[in-house]
Structure 1
């Protein structure tokens, strides 16, 4: 038994207890003499904190867990930008269809922060501070600044990111769009140069993913985890804006464009939608809130001053849920609605060019579509899979939009 180095073999022959015994023996030996445990079958078992596990790559064997005793952690209350809604030091997501005033809403948030005026409907005090605005869809001069003025913001406390000075792959200077992959350190530096940043707006978050696949859960998590850590480090609320997909049925949580990891990474998420009973009324409703038990939403209208639109909040909260506001399709229409949504989703996935069929299948699974639904959408659009690379093991099937439907969007990154 002592000669076995494969824990699976050992467990199969002698049971899990024998594995535990061997591990305990190695740890005890190491602790007793401060030396590395003896080799077994020629493989050094290393120190207890980097114990050899058969099949574990060499470069991972020195990895160690970082442990912190709970009793050594001082409890801290949640700090709020907007009490019970948007927390400082956390990532918040706002999702909605185009044309509903999401960018005007973020201008309103910046106005509250820059002046310290209280939140609407008795929503509590707002800490005064600076806002960092990252916006790819609106021009700073003719759109963002006028909307900030219309919202009553102090423009001296709002700072708009217009690009990043960097170097290209050849070492030449370049000015480019901010990247959430490459520029977190630059964001920290920029924030620390301000007197007291309380809010960072990223609108839309998909514009700054630097080629990451927005339909891939792992890639989205890899991008948003450092962003969440950044929020915690600088103590500012990060509000990321995204669009809605055309899915129907099920929870409103699944309507945020791209991977569900967007909603999962955010500590709070809100839906912006039109009131079905009043086309001029907009609803700002909670999709999720991991930090507070707040089920109430808000309502607002888009008014104008000197031809510039701004958000006018109502004086009372609303209790309608996001699911009810979006509405569920009638059962008889559900299949047709789902088919339309799947077609639009598939066009979005293939908009940047050919995608491996295995990747399409994984994206569909992540988005909550069955493979049979996607196959029907494929046939409806007229997508004809093509095999590239020959008929052998190196060949692969790819999906592409029919000629004439391609766009200039950046292609999706492959799933590893």
Structure 2
């Protein structure tokens, strides 16, 4: 059987001379830091305040405020936030209030509903297309935050093809709605890497598809932190800003945290990172150390069902294989509360 060529099928390649394509300037939400119509990544180790940083950016956009480097903000506009790790009422909203956000312009994704009013959880990997109509309903959006961005991936976050498939719809969304998309993620535990960008967890496709990568770092005293531009396809990939996380007491005895910005720091992300190391930066703990600390904290009050531990470990992005290694390291015992009960783990010094 003779195969049909592409020409025979009626398809042709469309070519346009470059002279006929008008040049366009890059548009920015935060000049040289957060581009419009593009995907960006915000990464950091535990304790860096990634979510608090993102909320600070959201608050600035919602009220049309100026940026921490002195750049002038645009007109106040809408922000959409999806969080799979923090409570909305007790964490996200108090932090928005502490950051002086216009709460009328910040919209939280809390689920999906059908025509009959039935409500279900929002699954970013499956339900993302529903956001197009939601954006039109609120009159547009300037920033969409996903925390964590790996929730958009249905398969293995270490497989480039699966990551690209999951993120392409986000890239298309950003371009269609002319908004910035900021995905929050973690840094790899331990190990040595040639660049700060290579420390971002998951497949390299995360940073390949994003047009910028911001990385949060912390000093050993955990008081002074730095936000750096680790990758910037559309501007210079250097420079950083100091920031501090400060507690805030709101009304009704509600406690929150907010960002206080500090000085501008010059240099590449790697140079800033090396300087912080010489100054005594605390490197991220190893995966085994993190899992060990996790088990001690969870089991301190008594035995916990293995199924519960598995769920808590997954929520904390700790692999079960590493948890099992930590179990052996700490000498944690398996036990049963009764013949009809499932297996539990307990610390060896709790009996």
Q: Shared topology, TM-score over 0.5?
A: yes
Is contact 2:152–2:166 with CA below 8 Å preserved after alignment?
A: no
Query: In 1, distance between residues paired with 2:290 and 2:204?
Result: 17
Tell me: higher relative CO, structure 1 or 2? Use CA pairs within 8 A at least 6 residues apart: 2
The 5 A counterparts of 1:343-354 are none
Q: 1:103 aligns with which of 44, 48, 51?
A: 51
Is 1:120 matched with 2:68? Answer: yes
Q: Is the 8 A contact 2:237 2:268 kept in 1?
A: no
Structure 1 position 298, deviation (Å): 1.1
Deviations for 1:318-368, whole angstroms, at most 9, x for unmatched residues? 12433345449x9xxxxxx9xx669999xxxxx98xxxxxxxxxxxxxxxx
- Tell me which of 234, 241, 251 is aligned to 1:291: 234
The 1-side partners of 2:224 and 2:2 are apart by 69
Equivalent of residue 184 in structure 2, options 241, 257, 270: 241
Aligned length: 290
Quote how far apart the aligned CAs of 1:143 are. Answer: 1.0
Are the counterparts in 2 of residues 119 and 125 from structure 1 also a CA contact under 8 Å? yes
Structure 2 CA distance, aligned partners of 1:157 and 1:105?
Answer: 18
Indicate whether 1:317 and 2:261 are aligned.
no
CA-CA distance at 1:149 after TM superposition: 0.7
Out of 229-238 and 294-303, give the one that drifted further: 294-303
Pairing of 1:182-197 with structure 2 (within 5 A): 182-197=126-141
Q: Could you say what secondary structure the match of 1:117 adopts?
A: coil
Give 1:143's match in structure 2, choosing from 52, 67, 91. Answer: 91
Shift in Å, 1:299 = 1.1
What is the SS of the residue equivalent to 1:296? strand
Question: Which structure has the greater CA radius of gyration?
Answer: 1
For the residue of structure 1 that corresponds to 2:145, the secondary structure is strand
Q: 1:136 to 1:158 in 2, by over 3 A?
A: same
Judge conservation of contact 1:275–1:325 (CA < 8 Å) in 2.
no
- The corresponding residue for 1:76 is 24
Q: Residue in 2 aligned with 1:221? A: 164
Q: Calculate the aligned-residue CA RMSD, in Å.
A: 3.5
Give the conservation status (yes or no) of the 8 Å contact 1:113–1:126: yes
Q: Is residue 46 from structure 1 mapped to residue 4 from structure 2 by the alignment?
A: yes
Task: Report the counterpart of residue 279 of structure 1 in structure 2.
Answer: 222
Distance in 2 of aligned mates of 1:308 and 1:185: 33
Task: Give the conservation status (yes or no) of the 8 Å contact 1:274–1:283.
Answer: yes
CA distance in structure 2 between the partners assigned to 1:238 and 1:66 by the alignment: 31
Contact 2:61 2:73 in 1 (8 A): no
Residue 5 of structure 1 corresponds to none
Matches within 5 A, 1:255-266: 255-266=199-210
Partner Cα separation in structure 2 for residue 341 and residue 133 of structure 1: 29
TM-score between the two structures when normalised by the length of structure 2: 0.73
Relative to 1, partners in 2 of residues 1:70 and 1:96: Cα closer, same or farther, differing over 3 Å? farther
Residue in structure 1 matched with residue 318 of structure 2 by the alignment? none
SS in 2 for 1:193: helix
